[in-house]
Amino acid sequence: MNTANTLFLILSSVLVLFMTPGLAFFYGGLGDKKNVVNTMLSVFIMCGLAIVMWIICGYSLSFVGDFAGIVGNFSAFLLHGVKLTALTATKIPTSLYLIFQMMFAVITPALFVGAVVGRIRFKFLLVFTVLWSIFIYYPLVHMVWANGFLAKLGVIDFAGGTVVHIDAGVTALVLAYCVGQRASFRKGVEEKHYNLPWALLGTSILWIGWYGFNAGSALATDQIAVQAVLTTTVATASSMITWMLVEMAFKGKASLAGVCNGTLCGLVGITPATGYVTVAGAFWIGLISALASYFFVNKIKHRIGLDDALDAFGCHGVCGIVGSILTGLFASRAVNPSIALDGLFYGGGFKLFGTQLFATIFAILFAAVISFAIVKLLKWWLPMRVAAEEERDGLDQGEHSEDADYLM
């Protein structure tokens, strides 16, 4: 066992877990006052639900066996037969790699909560998350990071642009359309943020935790991990400043909520590329991610009738898509010789770019079609949306009430 790598991955795993309560503060602060407790509950509960699911079948379906290059199997149900003390290629225990990947399984479904806060039933969200994990998340982990067909095609995703942000972001889009618009959205009323200092706190926690997310994905204390820290920092700062400048140009002033969103856009956009690109590549990925997200959130979202309450698709979906595609342009073997091809801008031709584009489109369609099917199936026997009066009064009203079954 490599002690340095093991300690590094323990720290990285803790940082990734820390991101989920950070997300709870981020969403809770940006949401409205009447739903803040329900919003934070809906995010934080993923820590328990996703961990239990991962141990029962998630690790097995993701990393054990192979069925048609799409998914693993159930042979390691409850980790049966998994040699937890076996060492990986970077000399860390299999049990630690399992834990690190577990934390990704926690934060990913928490992301799409932001699209539907204030109007989705808690019980529906829980059951949906269970099915979503089994039929979307675990298969995508297998396809990209295990022995799946996307990995064999040469798709690269350093820390989760495809596996985490595209599937969660697209799922947010589907959920938002399926649950329908809020009454305030239909009336054109912009709800006030509950607590912007909370949003800033959540953003800061996410940025700190993201170093575990991105640098930890190197799985070793090496130059690639250092590069991931550097590119994550540069892309995030680039995106933050870009969002601020665009907001000042179009709205006349900067806002804290906008700066927080811009920060998150850079973190999301660089995720698939962070261990593959130069500092210059990170700068441009952050800038382009912020531009794409800003114009979607402010110019396109309302025109297409998308009530994405906290811009889960507008940030994670859009920037995940942008980052995944741009990886095919900016990836460099000089940075990471483990990849087979340079990106288009580094003399590698169109092959890697085309592969990344295919994987991005596939992930979008895969997540969209199956998420929609799961929603339609569940709505046959579970109500999805709270009643109109419950939405009007807020989902926190029943915290001390005996008739608070709408929370379920």
Tell whether the model's pLDDT for residue 109 goes beyond 70. yes
Give 37-91 pLDDT, tens digit per residue.
999 999 999 999 999 999 999 999 999 999 999 999 999 999 999 999 999 999 9
Interatomic CA distance for residues 86 and 337, integer angstroms: 26
Do 254 and 299 touch, CB atoms closer than 8 A? no
What pLDDT shows up at residue 184?
Answer: 81
- Mean pLDDT, the chain, rounded, equals 95
Q: What is the pTM of this model?
A: 0.95
Do 356 and 328 touch, CB atoms closer than 8 A? yes
Phi and psi at 385, nearest 5°, equal -110, 145
**Cβ burial 241-280 (10 Å sphere, 16+ → b, else e):** bbbbebbeeeeeeeeebbbbbbbbbbbbbbbbbbbbbbee
What pLDDT shows up at residue 337?
Answer: 96
Interatomic CA distance for residues 267 and 42, integer angstroms: 22
What pLDDT shows up at residue 336?
Answer: 97
Quote the percentage of the chain above a pLDDT of 70: 97
- pLDDT band at residue 191, thresholds of 50, 70 and 90? confident
What pLDDT shows up at residue 383?
Answer: 96
Interatomic CA distance for residues 361 and 189, integer angstroms: 34
Q: Find the Cα–Cα–Cα–Cα dihedral 169, 172, 177, 182, rounded to 10°.
A: -130
Do 383 and 121 touch, CB atoms closer than 8 A? yes
Tokens 């912020």 appear where?
290
Tell whether the model's pLDDT for residue 403 goes beyond 60. no
Q: What average pLDDT does range 258-268 have in this prediction?
A: 98
**Cβ burial 180-198 (10 Å sphere, 16+ → b, else e):** eebebbeeeeebebbbeeb
Tell whether the model's pLDDT for residue 404 goes beyond 60. no
Tell whether the model's pLDDT for residue 407 goes beyond 60. no
Q: What average pLDDT does range 113-129 have in this prediction?
A: 96
Give 143-163 pLDDT, tens digit per residue.
999 989 999 999 999 999 999
Least confident of 51-55, 189-193, 324-328: 189-193
Give 365-374 pLDDT, tens digit per residue.
999 999 999 9
- pLDDT band at residue 181, thresholds of 50, 70 and 90? very high
What pLDDT shows up at residue 398?
Answer: 52
What pLDDT shows up at residue 101?
Answer: 98
Interatomic CA distance for residues 42 and 24, integer angstroms: 8
What pLDDT shows up at residue 345?
Answer: 97
Interatomic CA distance for residues 108 and 349, integer angstroms: 32
Helices 138-145 and 351-378 pack at an angle, to 10 degrees, of: 170
SS (H, E, C) 274-330: CCCCCHHHHHHHHHHHHHHHHHHHHHHCCCCCCCCCCCHHHHHHHHHHHHHHHHHHH
Interatomic CA distance for residues 156 and 154, integer angstroms: 6
What pLDDT shows up at residue 408?
Answer: 53
Give 264-322 pLDDT, tens digit per residue.
999 999 999 999 999 999 999 999 999 999 999 999 999 999 999 999 999 999 999 99
